């Protein structure tokens, strides 16, 4: 096999063929202008001394056959290598073939295959990394193709495969091991490797495609090793990657204990016992977590609405490994996965500011990225100061809340992100915030209160099952010791209630909790007796509850009955559910 230095001189035509003694090829003869001259000696692969001693100087070109790629290169004027890389589209990955073509000509470096700015800039990083790693950069015309060419490629993860492809094309890297491996990594100018995002979906796709493994930066090894069935080879520099691919540096596949990671990562730092007072609000949040009901908390400033909301993830049902993997994929694609945290094993809690745009909340961009609703998948999306959000931002929540997914369409393609979250909103009862505060005077007029509350549309309120008032906490409760239950105790009751619901909806697809029930399911699973019917009729007529409250009360009543292990909905369950419809009363409108 010819070395990189041979391409700068003029030789005869050299035919390299396989033989039992030399399966990777030997020189069998040369041909100049006057005919073929047999060569009796055989040289080792890459032996430039053999070529210099054996090839007539008057010959003007030579042919080499690379055993790995089965390509014929005329005088090293054409050198080609193919490397497997991967990219992410949505939360799923796909294989990208990085083809490096090097031909004689004016030195240039071009990248094709719809690269974005970061990929185009990789030529500067790759050039410096190859030189600073001790290799000679080929001063020829270099073309890098990223296939499939009709999908836009983003990010710096193509640096390492491009560099390896160039080195493989000039003979510095054996392509035998590259056939079964995906290569990923961002290069620094000194040849070191930096971590990239989206490694977990890439590792899943590598396993599904039946490839052997993945070569990637050391910092991403824990994340990729979560996936069983593939070999993860972490490297820290370009030189180390080249030595491994050439078989000169053995690397043991990186392994992690997934069960241990899941157990350690599933611990929360806060608990419901930290909250003093507000026992009725804790009960409402327990009902919401048990049935998957969306909640809005209404109360004056400083009553603990945010503190309560931040502890809701700690009482949600235990996260399964499948849920943790799906949540981790979303955070990995968004680049939010911490290096020391390879698995998101706790329920996410996302609290965007009220100035967020609709694209930031739902997801968007030229190549759409997951928004806050997807980052809160299997967790809690908390919207503090709910009426302060732009109306168009709130309205885009309606479809994800209904379908548990969000679809973002562009001219060339559309992406679907999962978005199954529990929505918790917090708001003041009026612009000044003190309408329901017994110790402070409200300065708002009824018209101002009405305008403030009307910022939340009826269709959005239709999707919020529980409205609960959060009053100020008395000094006696604040100064005393916490007496409430811990999150673990509450979560045990919620787990029992969820198991009842999973059994109830086992025959229904994409229905896992009471909040997902539609009108026909309410008629089937939320039957009430005459006493319960009389109580519900009285509530709607006397308390001024709206028509939309009827189905919501029945669904919440079903969840309260599940928490108590009751097969039927009793009047006391309905009575408690009626208390959770504050915004339907005329007082607020």
Residue range 485-518, pLDDT digits in tens: 999 999 999 999 999 999 999 888 778 899 999 8
Q: How far apart are CA 150 and CA 101, in angstroms?
A: 19
Nearest in space to 247 (alpha carbons), one of 162, 178, 187: 178
Q: What is the pLDDT of residues 216-259, one digit of tens each?
A: 999 999 999 999 999 999 999 999 999 999 999 999 999 999 98
Q: By the 8 A CB rule, do 163 and 126 touch?
A: yes
Range 358-371 average pLDDT: 88
pLDDT of 65 > 80? The answer is no
Q: What is the pLDDT of residues 549-570, one digit of tens each?
A: 888 999 999 999 999 999 999 9
The single residue listed with the structure tokens 């193509």 is: 158
Q: By the 8 A CB rule, do 557 and 577 touch?
A: yes
**In this predicted structure, what is the pLDDT of residue 573?**
96
Q: By the 8 A CB rule, do 493 and 564 touch?
A: no
**In this predicted structure, what is the pLDDT of residue 474?**
85
Q: By the 8 A CB rule, do 180 and 255 touch?
A: no
pLDDT of 575 > 60? The answer is yes
Phi and psi angles of residue 219, each rounded to the nearest 5 degrees, phi first: -65, -20
pLDDT above 70: percentage of residues in the chain: 86
Which band of pLDDT confidence, cut at 50, 70 and 90, is reported for residue 79? confident
**In this predicted structure, what is the pLDDT of residue 329?**
94
Which band of pLDDT confidence, cut at 50, 70 and 90, is reported for residue 459? confident
Which band of pLDDT confidence, cut at 50, 70 and 90, is reported for residue 364? confident
Q: What is the pLDDT of residues 286-303, one digit of tens each?
A: 999 999 999 999 999 999
Q: What is the pLDDT of residues 17-47, one digit of tens each?
A: 444 444 444 444 333 333 333 333 334 444 4
User: Which segment of 12-26, 134-148, 257-271 scores lowest on mean pLDDT?
Assistant: 12-26
Phi and psi angles of residue 379, each rounded to the nearest 5 degrees, phi first: -135, -145
Q: How far apart are CA 539 and CA 272, in angstroms?
A: 31
Phi and psi angles of residue 26, each rounded to the nearest 5 degrees, phi first: -145, 160
Strand order in the sheet with 108-112: 108-112, 141-147, 92-103, 78-89, 181-183, 213-217, 231-235
49 or 244, which is more confident: 244
Pairing of strands 108-112, 363-364: unpaired
**In this predicted structure, what is the pLDDT of residue 78?**
58
Q: How far apart are CA 66 and CA 2, in angstroms?
A: 9
**In this predicted structure, what is the pLDDT of residue 25?**
42
Phi and psi angles of residue 81, each rounded to the nearest 5 degrees, phi first: -140, 150
Lookup: tokens for 439 = 């110790």
Which band of pLDDT confidence, cut at 50, 70 and 90, is reported for residue 84? very high
Q: By the 8 A CB rule, do 290 and 267 touch?
A: no
pLDDT of 264 > 90? The answer is no
pLDDT of 51 > 50? The answer is no
pLDDT of 475 > 70? The answer is yes
pLDDT of 1 > 70? The answer is no
Angle between helices 279-291 and 548-563 (to 10 degrees): 90
Burial (CB < 10 A; 0-12, 13-18, 19+), residue 567, is exposed
**In this predicted structure, what is the pLDDT of residue 306?**
95
For the chain, report the end-to-end CA distance as a whole number of angstroms. Answer: 84
CA 471 to chain centre: 38
Q: What is the pLDDT of residues 90-113, one digit of tens each?
A: 899 999 999 999 999 999 999 999
User: Which segment of 47-51, 270-274, 338-342 scores lowest on mean pLDDT?
Assistant: 47-51
Q: Is the pTM of this model over 0.75?
A: yes
**In this predicted structure, what is the pLDDT of residue 585?**
60
Range 471-489 average pLDDT: 86
Beta pairing partners, 99: 82, 145
Which band of pLDDT confidence, cut at 50, 70 and 90, is reported for residue 357? very high
Range 63-87 average pLDDT: 58
Q: What is the pLDDT of residues 164-183, one digit of tens each?
A: 999 999 999 998 888 889 99
**In this predicted structure, what is the pLDDT of residue 98?**
97
412 or 235, which is more confident: 235
Full set of structural domains in the chain with CATH: 4-74 (no CATH), 78-245 (3.30.230.10), 292-475 (3.40.50.300)
Q: Helices marked H in 115-220 — which ranges?
A: 117-120, 122-132, 159-169, 199-208
Q: By the 8 A CB rule, do 414 and 407 touch?
A: yes
Give the distance between the most distant pair of CA atoms in the chain.
111
User: Which segment of 46-55, 166-175, 344-353 scores lowest on mean pLDDT?
Assistant: 46-55
Nearest in space to 559 (alpha carbons), one of 332, 333, 285: 285
């Amino acid at each position: 096999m010819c070395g990189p230095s041979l391409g700068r001189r003029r030789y005869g035509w050299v035919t390299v063929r396989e033989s039992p003694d030399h399966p990777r090829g030997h020189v069998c003869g040369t041909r100049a202008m006057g005919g073929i001259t047999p060569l009796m000696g055989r040289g080792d692969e890459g032996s430039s001394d053999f070529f210099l001693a054996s090839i007539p100087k008057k010959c003007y070109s030579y042919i080499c056959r690379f055993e790995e790629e089965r390509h014929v290169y005329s005088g090293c004027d054409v050198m080609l290598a193919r490397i497997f890389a991967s990219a992410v589209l949505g939360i799923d990955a796909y294989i990208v073939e990085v083809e490096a073509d090097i031909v004689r000509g004016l030195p240039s470096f071009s990248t094709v295959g719809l690269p974005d700015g970061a990929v185009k800039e990789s030529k500067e990083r790759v050039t410096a990394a190859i030189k600073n790693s001790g290799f000679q950069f080929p001063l020829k015309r270099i073309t890098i193709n990223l296939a499939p060419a009709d999908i836009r490629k983003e990010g710096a993860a193509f640096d390492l495969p491009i560099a390896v492809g160039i080195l493989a094309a000039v003979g510095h890297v054996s392509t035998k091991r590259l056939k079964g491996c995906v290569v990923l990594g961002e290069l620094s100018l000194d040849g070191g490797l930096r971590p990239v995002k989206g490694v977990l979906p890439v590792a899943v796709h590598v396993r599904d495609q039946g490839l052997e493994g993945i070569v990637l930066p050391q910092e991403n090894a824990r994340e990729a090793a979560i996936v069983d069935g593939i070999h993860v080879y972490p490297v820290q520099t370009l030189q180390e990657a080249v030595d491994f691919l050439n078989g000169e540096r053995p690397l043991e596949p990186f392994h992690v204990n997934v069960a241990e990671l899941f157990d350690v990562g599933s611990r929360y730092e806060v608990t419901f016992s930290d909250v003093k007072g507000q026992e009725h609000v804790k009960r409402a949040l327990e009902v919401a977590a048990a049935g998957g009901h969306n909640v809005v908390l209404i109360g004056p400033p400083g009553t603990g609405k945010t503190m309560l909301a931040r502890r809701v993830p700690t009482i949600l049902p235990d996260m399964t490994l499948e849920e943790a993997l799906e949540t981790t994929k979303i955070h990995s694609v968004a680049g939010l996965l911490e290096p020391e945290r390879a698995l998101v094993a706790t329920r996410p809690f996302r609290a965007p500011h009220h100035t967020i745009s609709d694209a930031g909340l739902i997801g968007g961009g030229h190549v759409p990225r997951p928004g806050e609703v997807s980052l809160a998948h299997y967790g809690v999306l908390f919207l503090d100061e709910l009426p302060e959000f732009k109306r168009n931002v709130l309205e885009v929540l309606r479809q994800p809340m209904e379908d548990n997914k969000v679809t973002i369409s562009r001219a060339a393609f559309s992406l679907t992100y999962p978005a199954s979250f529990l929505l918790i909103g917090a708001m003041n009862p009026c612009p000044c915030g003190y309408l329901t505060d017994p110790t402070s005077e409200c300065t708002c007029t009824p018209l101002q209160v009405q305008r403030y509350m009307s910022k939340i549309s009826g269709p959005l309120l239709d999707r919020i099952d529980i409205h609960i008032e959060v009053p100020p906490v008395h000094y006696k409760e604040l100064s005393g010791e916490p007496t409430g239950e811990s999150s673990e105790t509450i979560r045990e009751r919620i787990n029992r209630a969820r198991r009842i619901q999973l059994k109830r909806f086992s025959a229904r697809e994409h229905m896992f909790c009471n909040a997902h029930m539609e009108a026909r399911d309410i008629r089937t699973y939320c039957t009430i007796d005459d006493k319960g019917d009389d109580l519900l009729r009285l509530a709607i007529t006397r308390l001024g509850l709206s028509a939309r409250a009827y189905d919501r009360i029945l669904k919440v009543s079903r969840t309260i009955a599940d928490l108590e292990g009751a097969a039927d909905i009793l009047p006391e369950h309905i009575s408690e559910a009626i208390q959770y419809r504050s915004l339907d009363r005329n007082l607020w409108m």
